[in-house]
Amino acid sequence: MNNLATKDIIVFILYFILIAGYGYWIYRRKKKASITASHDYFLAEGSLTWWAIGASLIASNISAEQFIGMSGNGFFVGVAVAAYEWIAAIALIIIAVWFIPIYLKNKIYTMPQFLKTRYNETVSLIMAIFWLFLYIFVNLTSILFLGAVAISGLVGPEYLHIIMIGLAIFALIITLGGMKVIGYTDVIQVAVLIIGGFATIYFALTIVSEKFGLGRDALAGFNTLLKEAPDHFHMILSKPDANSSQEYVNKYLLLPGLAMYFAGQWIVNLNYWGCNQYITQRALGADLQTARKGILFAGFLKLFMPVIVMLPGIAAYVLNKSGHLEVKGMDSAYSSILGFLPSGLKGLSIAALTAAIVASLAGKLNSISTIYTLDIHKKYFQKDLTEKKQVWTGRMIAVAAILISLLFTWDDLLGIGGEGGFTFIQKYTGFISPGVFAMFILGMFWKRTTGAAAVAGLLTGLLLAIFFNNYAVTVFGHETWLYTSFKTFENGKEIWQIPFLINMGWSFFFTVLVMVGFSLTGPKINPKAFELDRSMFKLKPSIIAMIVITLLILTVLYAKFW
């Protein structure tokens, strides 16, 4: 750890002691209260406050793929990548108002349980297995790999594997305490994350101002970014033309301008925040008002996340462009900026990064153990599983999941480093998002949707996503009324690609058509349809106030950077 001063190591050790000590205290309190039922371990039923739910949502969401991947995209594209965060704020409003009441009224504790209750056992089992594979081989692996790469960039690349093991063990310790421990330690994790993140960007901006001869002035540093990289401060990218550079085309493929707001951006966010065990689990153990406030609080915090995870990337771009910093690849932008930080603050930044990684790993591990234990093991292997044995099984599955992810990240067997972290996750989750979201949205709000339609929708969504991503250009040509493809290069080979957010939009649209067609052959009202009434969606004044504040801030942000 030659790159760290004694102050940095002390700050990091204090962070570790704080999290571990607080987590153990929460665990002991829970134990003394004799709350050891499986619902407490998997859901922290009734014990999380709204602010703990909101903080836990953010701590679990903001991880290595945001710090490293989104900062890298900030370096490459700029503020346009903030759409993922800002549209998420609107998605969280939609989920708080319309999705959560349905989950809570029907006592839904897992997403496979939702599918079984609304459709049938087959749909539930297929998706339970699929989610387990996705969480282990895409999410856990990418978080662990990107996090270890980022931290090793500061303390020395020779420590990569030691850091991987350390992150895995740290996350596992928190996970074994259950969702209550995860939820409340996440409050401290998100505080460390925000304080460390804002401190990092403050010093990054002062470094920019210093390098350009403007003294130590963060505001001057921000104005320098606006001046030196004006193309990095546009939310909406215009469609490339014949005169566009290959670099610009690659940016558009990543974030296809206004078109993505009518297509994949909504599917990505609504599916992630509303149909994802990893996220919704935090709110499913609460009452409706607590859950709603927690989700809206998370939406409010999302508005500020681009400052923490994106601006360092733009600062790295400007410093690299002016010759004051060497950035080797966009995923190294964040760690390159951290290298400038003074001793003590570097330790705080590493603590913030570790907090984000560990919180996400712990949340993911808890979701894996919940789905496996409640939706697979208890149903198909040990139907008489006691409460105590359910918790024990969940813990063993968490250990197995982290060991598998370590195995696949040890030498980057999945090629996460080559894809770019943020793109890797979005791309592979994008293959199933259209079908999954279609199943959920129609299952919630259209009483005619059938189980056969759900299976057809799942398969159609996956096949269409693969088709549009890999074969559509070959079959239909470079440009149709559905899409425009663009030339790019992959491993030195020329290929034509459709922006994957556009692919997701069309995959979802045609999947819905297929599901509607299948459902029209069934009864007018499916016997398993949910009963909805207006009172479920009625909002209290405090909830309305939170929604209005979030929307007003979002309007100002888009007006500024359009």
CATH, residue 379: 1.20.1730.10
pLDDT at 295: 95
Tell me 342's DSSP state.
P
> Three-state SS for 257?
helix
pLDDT at 335: 77
Chain mean position to CA 139: 9
Paired tokens of 521: 């052959």
pLDDT at 381: 85
Phi, psi of 486 (to 5 degrees): -135, 145
End-to-end CA distance of the chain: 43
Contacts by 126-129, CB closer than 8 A, 24 or more apart: 126/455, 126/458, 127/436, 127/458, 128/371, 128/372, 128/375, 128/376, 129/376
- Residue 526: Cβ within 10 Å count: 19
CB of 467 closer than 8 Å to CB of 229: no
524 assigned to some structural domain: no
The CA-CA-CA angle for residues 557, 558, 561, to 5°, reads 85
Total residue length of the chain = 562
> Three-state SS for 410?
coil
Closest C-alpha among 283, 240, 237 to residue 257 = 237
Per the listing, tokens 């505001």 go with 219
331 assigned to some structural domain: yes
203 assigned to some structural domain: yes
Q: What is the 3-state secondary structure (H, E, C) of 36-62?
A: CCHHHHHHCCCCCCHHHHHHHHHHHHC
pLDDT at 34: 42
CA 550/CA 265 separation, integer angstroms: 19
Domain span at residue 380 reads: 6-212+268-410
CA 423/CA 290 separation, integer angstroms: 34
Query: Which residues are 494's β-sheet partners?
Result: 489
pTM comes to 0.86
279 assigned to some structural domain: yes
36 assigned to some structural domain: yes
Pairing status of strand 486-490 against strand 493-497 = antiparallel
CB of 520 closer than 8 Å to CB of 449: no
402 assigned to some structural domain: yes
pLDDT at 35: 45
Paired tokens of 91: 């998605």
Closest C-alpha among 156, 145, 177 to residue 363 = 177
Chain mean position to CA 500: 17
pLDDT at 546: 95
- Residue 324: Cβ within 10 Å count: 15
DSSP string, 262-288: GTHHHHHHHHHHHS-HHHHTTTTTS-H
Q: Cα torsion for 41, 47, 52, 57, to the nearest 10°? A: 40
> Three-state SS for 397?
helix
Query: Which residues are 489's β-sheet partners?
Result: 494
pLDDT at 486: 92
Closest C-alpha among 18, 71, 78, 5 to residue 353 = 71
CA 302/CA 190 separation, integer angstroms: 12
Phi, psi of 479 (to 5 degrees): -145, 130
Tell me how far apart the 2 most distant CA atoms of the chain are, in Å: 73
559 assigned to some structural domain: no
Q: Which residues of the chain have pLDDT under 50?
A: 33-36
CA 478/CA 517 separation, integer angstroms: 29
Paired tokens of 146: 């990107």
Closest C-alpha among 96, 88, 70 to residue 557 = 88
Paired tokens of 460: 């159609």
CA 43/CA 45 separation, integer angstroms: 5
CA 304/CA 302 separation, integer angstroms: 5
User: What are the start-end ranges of the H helices in 410-540?
Assistant: 416-419, 421-430, 433-445, 451-470, 472-476, 500-519
pLDDT at 57: 85
The number of distinct structural domains making up the chain is 1
